[in-house]
Structure 1
Amino acid sequence: MLISNAYAQAAGAAADPTGGLMGMLPILLMFIVLWFVMIRPQMKKAKEQQKMVSELAKGDEVITQGGIAGRIAKVGENYLSLEVAEGKDGPVVITVQKNAVGALLPKGTLKNL
Structure 2
Amino acid sequence: MIEFLIAAAPQGSGLMGFVPIIGMIAIFWFLLIRPQMKRQKEHQAKVAGLKKGDQVVTAGGLIGKVVKVDENYADIELAQGVRVKAVKATIGDIIPPGGTAAND
- TM-score, normalized by length of structure 1? 0.76
- 2:92 aligned to which of 92, 102, 113: 102
Q: Residues 7-55 of structure 1, C-alpha deviation per residue, up to 9 Å, x if partnerless?
A: xxxx96xx73x53111111101100000000000000000000000000
1:92 to 2:88 alignment: no
Q: 2-side partners of 1:81 and 1:108: how far apart?
A: 21
What residue ranges of structure 1 are gaps of 5+ in the alignment?
A: 1-10
Figure out how many residues of one structure are paired with residues of the other and give that number: 94
Instruction: Please tell me the residue identity of whatever aligns with 1:31.
Output: I
Corresponding residue for residue 23 of structure 2: 29
Q: 2-side partners of 1:61 and 1:109: how far apart?
A: 10
- TM-score, normalized by length of structure 2? 0.82
1:103 is displaced (CA, Å) by 0.5
1:108 is displaced (CA, Å) by 3.9
Segments of 4+ moved more than 3 angstroms:
none
Larger radius of gyration: 1
Instruction: Please tell me the residue identity of whatever aligns with 1:101.
Output: I
Corresponding residue for residue 56 of structure 2: 62
- Contact 1:61/1:109, CA 8 A, preserved across alignment: no
